[in-house]
Chains A and B, each alone.
Chain A
Amino acid sequence: MNEISRDIAATAAAPFAGTQDAAAAPSLARKLAEVLTASRVGTIGAAILLAWCLLALLAPWIAPYPPNGIDASLMAYPWPTWRNWLGVDHLGRDILSRLIWGARTVLTVAPAAVIGAAVLGTLLGLLSGYRGGWIDALIMRVGDVLLAFPKIILYLIIIARFGPSAANIIAVITFTQAPIIARIVRAVTLDVKNRDYVAAARMRGESTLSILLREILPNVRGPLIVDFFLRLGYTVIAIGVLGFLGVGLPPPDPDWGSMVKEAYGMIFVWPHMTIIPAAAISSLVIGFNFLAQGLREAEIDG
């Protein structure tokens, strides 16, 4: 079977091998565009995310009302109207404005948390995989202990102890996600460290740090980027869940999870107050997952 794939690969790679004057490495922008259009799923995901990012970025200019502005007079008819496109919530706040401002929160907290987890996890994974021995055992076992807890309980314990705030949510997600990322990085490191180019780097006397960062880390990038976007999706859910459980970002600032929580008691009376923010969470998660899927397909295509 692998002979076959080699046959195909050779056929596909040969145009490069033969022609010496092919264009040099394409520009980053072109490469990005190529990756994003490699699969339809990826393009859809990227479009959803781009839309949310633009809304969040332009919130002060495009949100029709202040997000926390209460107008009790609207409570008489909270359904979507020409004035309030998505209706108002139980306090008479404009849902569309709250969604747009809420996007700001989720789109800063989630990436910050996942970046934190990725940095910590990558460092631990590189060290663990490259060094092996007791360092590896220690890092992996501590990670196992963290992973053995149901995550949601871990979130609740830590946030109950330190109080709900954006910084604490970021910290708790960083610490609970890092072990998983460390495992992925460690697996790649274990493979890559035995490659000949690492031996060649050792033969020219590169330091361990240089080998980890220059020779191994760039090769971890592929699997890590796909995982990064998948993990962003999970984190958006996690933030939503925390908001729903009442330990999310403190009110009154808009947070999608909290919006669902505040309104779900009225779901049979005014379903739009619950469904709209829930749909916003879903769309963001779907956007991240689609993008991850698209990146994976682009990777397979080479």
Chain B
Amino acid sequence: MADVLALDGLSITHIGRRRSARILDDVSFSIGEGEAFGLVGESGCGKSTVALAAMRYLPAGMKVSSGTLRVEGRDTATMSDNELRRLRGSRLAMVYQDPMSSLNPVMPVGRQLIEVPMLHGERDPTRARERAIAMLREVRLADPEAMMSRYPHQLSGGQQQRVVIAMALMADPKLLVMDEPTTGLDVTIEAAILELVRELRRKFGTAILFISHNLGTVARLCDRIGVLYAGRLVETGPIRDVFKAPRHPYTQGLLAALPSLAAHGARARLTPIEGGLTAADRGRVGCAFAPRCRHAEPALCATRPIPLGPVPAGDGAHMARCARLDVAGLPDQARQRSQTARAPVPGGELIDIRGLTKRYDIGGGLTGRKVTHVNALTDASISVRAGETLAIVGESGSGKSTLAKVVSGLFPASEGHVRIAGADVAQVPVGDRSRDLRRRIQMVFQNPDATLNPSHTIGYALERPLKRLRGLPTRAARTEAARLLERVRLPADLLARKPHQLSGGQRQRVAIARAIAGNPDLVIADEPVSALDVSVQAAIVNLLGELLETSELGLLLISHDLALVRHMADWVAVMYLGRIVEQGPAAQVFTPPFHPYTEALLAAAPRPDPEAPPPAVLLDGAMPSPTVKLAGCPFASRCPRKLGAVCETTPPPVRASGAHTIACHIAPDVLAATPAA
């Protein structure tokens, strides 16, 4: 039986106006029937190009320069357009990252689903409709009949992605290509979708090409894995072998760079991969990873093409593309995390937040009449002490970014107090705050593409806050800017560059330098690494850790990534629907008793470990609309441990054990009986 998909030495070149670039270089792998193959790599490694090549859907300017791609034994290069169309419809199906762009916004989802069998030979519309409803049931959507007449915008992101998966499966494909299918989704939704895909795979026997940057999701789903770097497959093999004993230095680096949920990982230094991503390049002969590799040996690595070969002491299925497999395979000190733990220095209270509430009014049309309001943040109370890291965890819509923006003064609060240096600034927008108060709170933003003004040099970005916040004259600001760059481990010659000449990681370092320019008391970091690649993430996390160690700086870390929070935080607050449902010292929040929501979050967090058991708790449904005022517990509608009516009618009591508080109706001793996730 032929493999469902087989790539043999596939190379793809992008021919640009000025230069050509090799996007993929000699990529070979195959996917057998019913098998799930995970393809991982960082941005720009060419993994999406593999997906498009598999569908034979390459955009203009991209060309297969050598190699073949076979679907069920047939070379797609020899197929006519008609044959290809039939192939795409019936043998291959694709699920993209953004479900909203895969669905037609002006058509009910039912009609879009029915179209699939109608295009592939079904004559009877009623039968097609029945199949569509059955498929919606298969993807675990409640009330599939009603779902058929909904429009995509009426569904949540998770529901949309389920519809897209249903649509892909309608044609009963042999191979499902999934390109980052869960990347835009929250962890709990992601866990549920992954579980669904696992289940559907068992049931329909569909082979899957699963493309992701997230090792955790691949570990949960796939049988085999391929690691792509700069357009080349550097390592491939059965998932257990690769995760347990990665042989290519890049794979090892990726795994070592991840923060871990395990307690012993807290505050230790991560092991970043040095250097920036290497571009796929036509001219390169040797190993693309060599410039960043600890084991690189110019004579061996840069002079000749390195083939993908079986690793020593393997069964032949596990292969790596490395000239130094003899040394690279061995565990060494770098893989063991250095345990230079930072002792928390609880200093004086920096900032005290009491009963903070933020409502946005939603106006109606021309008359400007207030129609309704969104409760983005309700009654949040928390404090940060000097030298401490407070992490706010929650999914999108939990209000964590609103909290950051209210504290920073970008939005004024509706109610409540934010006390800093003896002043209550909750209702004072940042423009009206005194220079000293502004200096005390600074922010690091999420998106490295938007954090620096593309029109200004790095020097300008650093000198402005030095002048505005510390009143330095131009010359002093210039020397100080160079010193700031040094503090974030960047060379001073970057001062003359524009942001587009920097990598994402470098930009984020500059953003950190800008935030600490005014010697703030508190830095608010809103998802500071979530837009960065894994290998770069670790270095930024280490940098933040270093800065915290060497100063009295307090950090308010906003993140959805539990492992990162576990790694960095002293104090953790878990938010849901604008409310803090649990808070306390990190060690206590990450051990039972858990709030049921925290428990679900922990269960859903992807772990880069194929041996990890499937999540014990999966959340259904979506977060309720924040425009509705809820009488009871905000989590009641999705809580797997809901007690009954009491949860919906009465606000949950906030029970404390020491510094650790949980807002839940369930008795603390019952919660304490939960096993650690």
Residues of A within 8 A of B (CB): 1, 3-4, 6-18, 20-22, 24-25, 195-197, 199-206, 214-215, 218-219, 221, 301-302
Q: Does B48 contact A (CB under 8 A)?
A: yes
In the complex with contacts A4-B49, A203-B442, A204-B518, A11-B455 CB distance below 8 A: no
Q: Complex Cα distance A221/B48, Å?
A: 33
The 8 Å CB contact of A6, one of B19, B43, B454, B465, is B43
Do residues B23 and A18 form an inter-chain contact, with CB atoms below 8 A?
no
Do residues A199 and B443 form an inter-chain contact, with CB atoms below 8 A?
yes
Beyond A11-B14, A12-B21, 18 additional contacts (C-beta under 8 Å) are A3-B180, A4-B59, A4-B62, A8-B14, A11-B23, A11-B279, A11-B280, A13-B500, A14-B278, A16-B503, A18-B278, A196-B446, A200-B445, A203-B438, A203-B441, A205-B438, A206-B464, A218-B453
From 259 to 284 in chain B, residues with beta carbon under 8 angstroms from any chain A beta carbon are 275-280
In the complex with contacts A20-B493, A199-B410, A219-B454, A14-B277 CB distance below 8 A: yes
Do residues A197 and B469 form an inter-chain contact, with CB atoms below 8 A?
no
In the complex with contacts A7-B23, A11-B44, A204-B465, A196-B430 CB distance below 8 A: no
Instruction: Please list 16 pairs of residues, one from A and one from B, whose beta carbons are closer than 8 Å in the complex, sorted by A's number.
Output: A4-B49, A4-B52, A10-B43, A10-B277, A11-B44, A14-B278, A18-B275, A18-B276, A24-B496, A25-B498, A196-B446, A196-B451, A200-B445, A203-B410, A204-B465, A219-B455
Q: Does B435 contact A (CB under 8 A)?
A: yes
Q: Complex Cα distance A11/B62, Å?
A: 13
Q: Complex Cα distance A215/B498, Å?
A: 14
Q: Does B97 contact A (CB under 8 A)?
A: yes
In the complex with contacts A24-B496, A301-B17, A3-B279 CB distance below 8 A: no
In the complex with contacts A3-B97, A199-B443, A205-B430, A12-B468 CB distance below 8 A: no
Q: Complex Cα distance A180/B321, Å?
A: 57
In the complex with contacts A6-B44, A203-B442, A18-B291 CB distance below 8 A: yes
Minimum Cβ distance to chain B for residue A35 (Å): 13
Minimum Cβ distance to chain B for residue A30 (Å): 15
Q: Complex Cα distance A6/B451, Å?
A: 18
Minimum Cβ distance to chain B for residue A287 (Å): 23
Do residues A15 and B450 form an inter-chain contact, with CB atoms below 8 A?
no
From 454 to 505 in chain B, residues with beta carbon under 8 angstroms from any chain A beta carbon are 454-457, 461, 464-465, 468-469, 491, 493-494, 496-498, 500-503
Q: Which residue of A lies closest to B494 (CB)?
A: A20
Please give, as numbers and ranges, the residues of chain B lying within 8 Å of A218 by CB-CB distance: 453, 455-456
Q: Complex Cα distance A123/B453, Å?
A: 20
In the complex with contacts A18-B276, A203-B442, A7-B49 CB distance below 8 A: yes
Do residues A196 and B501 form an inter-chain contact, with CB atoms below 8 A?
no
The 8 Å CB contact of A17, one of B49, B277, B410, B455, is B277
Do residues A203 and B443 form an inter-chain contact, with CB atoms below 8 A?
yes
Q: Complex Cα distance A215/B179, Å?
A: 36
Do residues A301 and B18 form an inter-chain contact, with CB atoms below 8 A?
yes
Please give, as numbers and ranges, the residues of chain B lying within 8 Å of A16 by CB-CB distance: 500-503
Minimum Cβ distance to chain B for residue A299 (Å): 12
Interface 1/0 per residue, B500-537 and A, CB below 8 Å = 11110010000100100010000000000000000000
Q: Does B16 contact A (CB under 8 A)?
A: yes
Shortest Cβ-Cβ A-B pairs, 9 listed: A10-B44, A218-B455, A14-B279, A3-B48, A196-B445, A17-B503, A197-B453, A17-B276, A204-B468
Interface 1/0 per residue, B394-418 and A, CB below 8 Å = 0000000000000011100000000
Q: Which residue of B lies closest to A199 (CB)?
A: B410
Do residues A199 and B455 form an inter-chain contact, with CB atoms below 8 A?
no
In the complex with contacts A12-B16, A301-B18, A1-B59 CB distance below 8 A: yes
From 8 to 38 in chain B, residues with beta carbon under 8 angstroms from any chain A beta carbon are 14, 16-19, 21, 23
Q: Which residue of A lies closest to B447 (CB)?
A: A196
Minimum Cβ distance to chain A for residue B158 (Å): 21
Q: Does B452 contact A (CB under 8 A)?
A: yes
Please give, as numbers and ranges, the residues of chain A lying within 8 Å of B16 by CB-CB distance: 8, 12
Do residues A200 and B451 form an inter-chain contact, with CB atoms below 8 A?
yes
Q: Which residue of B lies closest to A134 (CB)?
A: B368
The 8 Å CB contact of A8, one of B21, B431, B443, is B21
Do residues B279 and A197 form an inter-chain contact, with CB atoms below 8 A?
no
Q: Does B46 contact A (CB under 8 A)?
A: yes
Q: Complex Cα distance A16/B452, Å?
A: 17
Minimum Cβ distance to chain B for residue A87 (Å): 44
Which of A4, A6, A195, A301 lies at the interface centre, i.e. has the most chain B CB atoms within 10 A of its CB?
Answer: A4
In the complex with contacts A11-B14, A18-B278, A202-B410, A4-B445 CB distance below 8 A: no
Do residues B451 and A206 form an inter-chain contact, with CB atoms below 8 A?
no
Do residues A7 and B48 form an inter-chain contact, with CB atoms below 8 A?
yes
Please give, as numbers and ranges, the residues of chain B lying within 8 Å of A302 by CB-CB distance: 500
Minimum Cβ distance to chain A for residue B178 (Å): 13
Do residues A215 and B453 form an inter-chain contact, with CB atoms below 8 A?
yes
Please give, as numbers and ranges, the residues of chain B lying within 8 Å of A205 by CB-CB distance: 430-431, 433, 435, 438, 468-469
Do residues A204 and B438 form an inter-chain contact, with CB atoms below 8 A?
yes
Q: Complex Cα distance A199/B526, Å?
A: 13
Please give, as numbers and ranges, the residues of chain A lying within 8 Å of B430 by CB-CB distance: 202-203, 205
Q: Complex Cα distance A25/B498, Å?
A: 8
Please give, as numbers and ranges, the residues of chain A lying within 8 Å of B450 by CB-CB distance: 195-197
Please give, as numbers and ranges, the residues of chain A lying within 8 Å of B409 by CB-CB distance: 203
Do residues B278 and A21 form an inter-chain contact, with CB atoms below 8 A?
no
Minimum Cβ distance to chain A for residue B78 (Å): 24
Please give, as numbers and ranges, the residues of chain A lying within 8 Å of B19 by CB-CB distance: 12
Minimum Cβ distance to chain A for residue B227 (Å): 16
Do residues A8 and B464 form an inter-chain contact, with CB atoms below 8 A?
no
Do residues B455 and A14 form an inter-chain contact, with CB atoms below 8 A?
no
Q: Complex Cα distance A38/B291, Å?
A: 32
Do residues B179 and A3 form an inter-chain contact, with CB atoms below 8 A?
yes
Q: Which residue of A lies closest to B179 (CB)?
A: A3
Do residues B59 and A199 form an inter-chain contact, with CB atoms below 8 A?
no
The 8 Å CB contact of A199, one of B43, B48, B277, B445, is B445
Q: Which residue of A lies closest to B452 (CB)?
A: A197
Do residues B518 and A11 form an inter-chain contact, with CB atoms below 8 A?
no
Q: Which residue of A lies closest to B435 (CB)?
A: A205
Please give, as numbers and ranges, the residues of chain A lying within 8 Å of B280 by CB-CB distance: 11
Q: Complex Cα distance A218/B433, Å?
A: 27
Which of A16, A203, A218, A221 lies at the interface centre, i.e. has the most chain B CB atoms within 10 A of its CB?
Answer: A203
Q: Complex Cα distance A109/B433, Å?
A: 48
In the complex with contacts A3-B180, A202-B430, A215-B453, A14-B59 CB distance below 8 A: no
In the complex with contacts A15-B279, A17-B506, A200-B443 CB distance below 8 A: yes
Q: Complex Cα distance A219/B500, Å?
A: 13
Minimum Cβ distance to chain A for residue B56 (Å): 14
Please give, as numbers and ranges, the residues of chain B lying within 8 Å of A12 by CB-CB distance: 16, 19, 21, 279
Q: Which residue of B lies closest to A215 (CB)?
A: B453
Please give, as numbers and ranges, the residues of chain A lying within 8 Å of B21 by CB-CB distance: 8, 11-12
Please give, as numbers and ranges, the residues of chain A lying within 8 Å of B49 by CB-CB distance: 4, 7
Minimum Cβ distance to chain B for residue A3 (Å): 4
In the complex with contacts A11-B279, A17-B503, A18-B276, A202-B44 CB distance below 8 A: no
Please give, as numbers and ranges, the residues of chain B lying within 8 Å of A17 by CB-CB distance: 276-277, 501-503, 506
